[in-house]
Structure 1
């Protein structure tokens, strides 16, 4: 996987309270590209952070329907991935996010 694709697959960390609880179980949450596959996400995390990945769970989050003065609108949906690292591996970059 070339370096350009790595930065297109991983869009950034997804920092929430639920993601902080997952980090305690050695799982880290990323926003990923809508066309990213599990093997691509795994290779991107291994290439970018230099850590061994045990598993990847990817899911699509649907946008919420919201009412406006002009009718009903729809927020944009996104894709996120829960990345489980191998035993003994951690991402120090996420320490401040917890």
Structure 2
């Protein structure tokens, strides 16, 4: 990977992930080739926190239609990051 910003693409903000923030769990869309160690180092470098656990899963492509045109959405990788109890909450999500 070139940079920590190449590993973390964007946060995933849904109703379910907003509820997870109370227990210091945050969800990010990450690069498909990134592993758990790279994701942990990237989150710690960007947000200056201590990560205790990282869970990853690949979200499969889904079939979509728009009128007579059909295709698939892109496959992407999701990472659920658990912060350690002594680390602070992410400032990025305080406005949510």
Tell me which residue corresponds to 1:96. 95
Cα RMSD after superposing both structures = 1.6
Report deviation, 1:88. Answer: 3.2
Aligned residues: 95
Report deviation, 1:9. Answer: 0.2
How far, CA to CA, are the matches of 1:66 and 1:11 in structure 2? 23
Counterparts of 1:1-98 in structure 2, within 5 Å, are 4-70=2-68, 72-89=70-87, 90-97=89-96
- After TM superposition, the runs of 4+ consecutive aligned structure 1 residues lying more than 2 A away are 67-72
Gaps of 5+ in 2: none
More helix by share: 1
Q: TM-score, normalised by structure 1?
A: 0.87
Q: TM-score, normalised by structure 2?
A: 0.89
Gaps of 5+ in 1: none
3-state SS of paired residue (2:95): helix
